[in-house]
Chains A and B, each alone.
Chain A
Amino acid sequence: MGDFLLYPELLTEMNPKHLNSLTIVQALKALAKKQISIDEIYESVNLAVKNNQNLNIYLSLNSQAQKQAQKANKTNLPLAGLPIAVKDNYCTKGLKTTASAKVLDNFIPEFDATVIQHLQKAGGVVLGKTNMDAWAHGSSTETSDYGRTLNPRNPDYLPGGSSGGTAAAVAANTCIAGLGTETAGSIRQPSAWCGVVGLKPTYGRVSRSGIVAMASSTDSPGPITKTVTDAALLLQQIAGLDLKDSTTNPVPVPDFAQDLKRGIGDLKIGLLYHDVPELKKVMNLIEPELKVFERLGAHLEPVKALDPHYAISVYTIVQRAEVSSNLARYTGVRYGLDRSHFAAEARRRIMLGTFTLSKGYADQYYKTAQKVRTLYRQDFAKLFGHYDLLISLSSPGFAKKIGVTAGEAMFGELEDLILEPSSIVGLPGLNVPCYRDPKTNLFLGLNIMAPMWREDLILRAGYAFEQATNWNEWAKND
């Protein structure tokens, strides 16, 4: 592996030549003090991108990135021109956007997604577009029509998905921070597998306008970053009501950084899914990590919640239905390639969704799924009546070896087992690294969830955990 494949050990000290490994906070500080220049950051990042080409992280690069960064840097914008890795399902004006699907092989959008507009307004720069599972269908980045991405922590393994490209981009320090999207696990699971921070905001907190739709009722764009503070900073810039997306919400966006360091001594936390059989093995590994919360003064106890397995059915039915509908527009009549270019996974989802919406089956499947969705909503409402936060693992285990998804149609759903219940309900969740296997260098992630619109709470808890443990090397210089 190249010089820039950074294992945690290599990060213990800030190497001035490795400016690509800076966090947003560190980079802004150094830029403000004029210790480094924006051009130096780009030189370092560009080199990292080049040296990590074997990981297949970026599908395309923005040739204007550095120029745009210089401009943003001069005008004193909050993100100062920092390079951001963007998942390829965000429409970027004039920049190829494929969602890793051959059907959109040559699609160049006419407009920027709202999130991209916000990002640019704040001085963030789209460095490049990252690989993902085609159409975001998957949890491995192995179903990309442009080849799989490898996990920077250990290239024999997958990065997870569907935002695997962005998670890998952050983990490999080929950017300062990144943007992903999640319907059920697509930010948190790859973040867990790659050992980075990933925040899935409340559904409706961040605009979906300009994002290639996957499952419209659950799609949530969000940041994938090196630290919790960075996640808070990036979310701050992209969140809020968007008149172009009717499902965004007018609830005010708080200052996420403000309460970040307030601690969690006053919080009551419920431990979710500790007794789910699939999780037994890894639960033991993070047992000591859970004690950290108590050490920080929070009250933690296991809770009984509605079995997450039902959520697989609900999610599969609802999501496939929406997928079959959202992909109907890709006919190749006006743009893109025709439907014969859909790969196996997309075809499976289109067929299943079409079936569950068909006459005579819609009641049996789609409507029943919506009813169960309501049950989960009620269950979470009940739980949050007692607890400020709920925590669980972000994934049932460590990253899987490359090639594992072949022939496993339900790979993603089983992988996202513990995230699907809260995703179909729209709750926010944050992945923070919570364990590293010294043999494989692979990570486990902790999923911290709060009621709708309480990203401030999960960021607070995430920050406290990050600072109290040693799993996040980047956070040490925070």
Chain B
Amino acid sequence: MRSNKQPIGTNGLKMTNSKSKYQLICGLEIHAELKTKSKMFCGCVNDPFGAKQPNIYTCPICLGMPGGLPVANKQAIEWTIQLGLALNCKIHLFSKFDRKHYFYPDLPKGYQISQYDQPFCFDGFVETSQGKVAITRVHLEEDTGKLLHKTSGGHKVTLVDFNRGGVPLVEIVTEPEIKSALQAKELAQYLRQIIRYLEIGDCNMEQGGMRLEANVSLSPNGQLPNYKTEVKNINSFRFLEQAINYEIGRQSDVLDKHQTPPQETRGFDAGKGVTFSQRIKETAADYRYFPEPDIPPIRFTKTQVERLQAGLPELPGQVRTRWQRQFNLSPSLVNRLIISQAQTELLDGVWQMASRDKLSPTKLADWILNQPKFLKQSFSAHQVIDRYQSETKTEKVDEKELTQIVQQTLIQFPSEVQRFRSGERKLLGFFIGQIKPQVSASADIKQISSIINQVLNH
């Protein structure tokens, strides 16, 4: 369906890719549940994913029964402010909650307690490899219940589980400054890293503990276009990237025909890798926001905010920079290792000990990254180094003996040998995998592969 005409670019060159005519205008809205002990506005247990049965963590308040009044969770507010500070936001010293009205069976009060014009945090930014992205706001609200579509006694029924209803939920909104799908993915991943690192949320994507929405439009001239497509309910970073790229293609096609894509909400079909229209928005939704009268405005003093700021740990970005300076570790290599404060503390010890023992922190980091489960066990820095040294210590095996094992093994895989000989070099790994256990766990892989090559090149 893409236009066959090859458009002429302003520089007079033929453009081969219609995508490049338009600039991506993209912002993200990210929701993440906070892992406070109790829910946002009542004393119910906040553990929707751990609940053994539906509707066990509920009370008259989170069920919206008559007479129930919300009481805000202080911990959730402080965490939201800390998250905002970690995202370089300014903090409103005077803030409030607002009611956002809409009807849906998973919303028991007929409104969601959210924040409208005085979010706790505003005007921040995040650094990505493709530049800064401004954070518009970080606010706090309550999650909704969950609808379950089932068949019961031959009838299709929709059931509601309110274990999740009233769980504290932060919403992070970015400015529409994201320049590529890849940058969107990096940004979203960074936000998850920060939230996990601050130990305020688990951000479990599959279960919905973190949810991504992308506002995507294309502009021929860099100006904000007069339409916006919202892609909702994306539950993985890969899907986020796919969805944005799909939208770039789809919207380019529409614009190429000199049409304007409609203002709409789209879903993402992970199976097909496409977005699909859910709802055309002819008018802007009217949520009839007004200040939540059941919760007085919240005032913070500068000192309180400073105290929260001081309570922040060294953040992942700062850790990366420091490790590069101190241990010459490449930021891109170690980024995946910065997942919790406890692990950072452990690895700090590991790098220090490694430097002292004249080991290479980079090699150590490499080794750790190749054993994803390793750090889940509780080790001391000392134990990590020991383990590293014992596992990377290579044993030279008697060459004759090794050659024999290699020959005996290869005989068992004639077709693989043939494929290897005809150029399928990646089978080398397969052979090593077969041979190494027969020799020793710490056998020198280089030695094994050189013998394999010798044997096969004969």
Q: A residues bordering B, Cβ < 8 Å?
A: 91, 97, 99, 104, 107, 109-111, 113, 208-213, 215-217, 243-247, 321-322, 324-325, 327-329, 331, 333-335, 354, 357-359, 362, 366
Contacts and interface: CB of A to CB of B under 8 A. Distances in A.
Interface stretch (B9-17, B105-113, B226-234, B404-412): B105-113
Contact of B67 (A91, A324, A358, A359): A91
A144 to B, nearest CB: 17
B67 A246 contact: no
Given A325-B110, A329-B108, A331-B110, A216 B66 contact: no
Nearest to B63: A334
Given A334-B108, A357-B288, A366-B290, A246 B101 contact: no
Given A212-B67, A325-B101, A247 B294 contact: yes
Interface centre among A245, A327, A359 (most CB of B within 10 A): A359
A211 B99 contact: no
B317 interface: no
Contacts of B428: none
Interface centre among B60, B63, B65 (most CB of A within 10 A): B65
A450 to B, nearest CB: 22
Nearest to A328: B110
Lowest 6 A-B CB distances belong to which pairs?
A328-B110, A357-B288, A216-B293, A217-B293, A210-B67, A91-B67
Contacts of A91: 66-67
Contact of B290 (A113, A209, A331, A357): A357
B427 to A, nearest CB: 61
Contacts of A99: 66
Nearest to B285: A359
Contacts of A322: 293
Interface string B378-409: 00000000000000000000000000000000
Contacts of A357: 101, 288-290
7 contacts: A109-B66, A111-B60, A210-B67, A212-B66, A328-B109, A333-B105, A358-B286
A168 B66 CA distance: 25
Interface centre among B67, B71, B295 (most CB of A within 10 A): B67
B69 interface: yes
Interface of B: 60, 63-72, 99, 101, 103, 105, 108-111, 284, 286, 288-290, 293-296
B290 A362 contact: yes
Contact of B69 (A104, A246, A334, A358): A246
B116 to A, nearest CB: 11
A99 B66 CA distance: 10
A354 B111 CA distance: 13
A109 B65 contact: yes
A358 to B, nearest CB: 6
Nearest to B108: A329
Nearest to B283: A359
Given A97-B66, A331-B103, A366-B290, A246 B108 contact: no
A69 to B, nearest CB: 24
Nearest to B294: A216
B290 A321 contact: yes
Given A357-B290, A362-B290, A325 B99 contact: yes
A327 B105 CA distance: 15
B111 A325 contact: yes
A328 B67 contact: no
A113 B67 contact: yes
Given A246-B295, A325-B290, A357-B290, A110 B65 contact: yes
A475 B60 CA distance: 41
A243 B289 CA distance: 26
Given A325-B111, A328-B111, A357-B288, A104 B66 contact: yes
Given A325-B111, A328-B103, A335-B65, A358 B296 contact: no
Contacts of A244: 69, 71
A181 to B, nearest CB: 11
Given A212-B66, A329-B108, A359-B288, 10 more contacts: A211-B67, A244-B69, A245-B69, A246-B69, A246-B294, A325-B99, A325-B101, A325-B110, A328-B101, A359-B284
Contacts of B103: 328, 331
A246 B63 contact: no
A385 B295 CA distance: 29
B294 A329 contact: no
B67 A109 contact: yes
Contacts of A208: 69
Contacts of A245: 69, 71, 294
Contacts of B60: 109-111
A137 to B, nearest CB: 15
Contacts of B70: 246
A354 B69 CA distance: 21
Nearest to B295: A246
A329 B290 contact: no
A91 B68 CA distance: 10
A244 B70 CA distance: 8
Contacts of B69: 208-209, 213, 244-246
Contacts of B63: 334
A216 B70 CA distance: 12
A404 B109 CA distance: 34
Contact of A329 (B110, B286, B296): B110
B398 to A, nearest CB: 77
Contacts of A328: 101, 103, 109-111
A264 B64 CA distance: 46
Contacts of B288: 324-325, 354, 357-359, 362
A213 B109 CA distance: 12
Nearest to A359: B286
A212 B68 CA distance: 8
A328 B288 CA distance: 12
B315 to A, nearest CB: 32
A107 B294 contact: no
B428 to A, nearest CB: 63
Nearest to A218: B293
A322 B105 CA distance: 21
Nearest to B64: A329
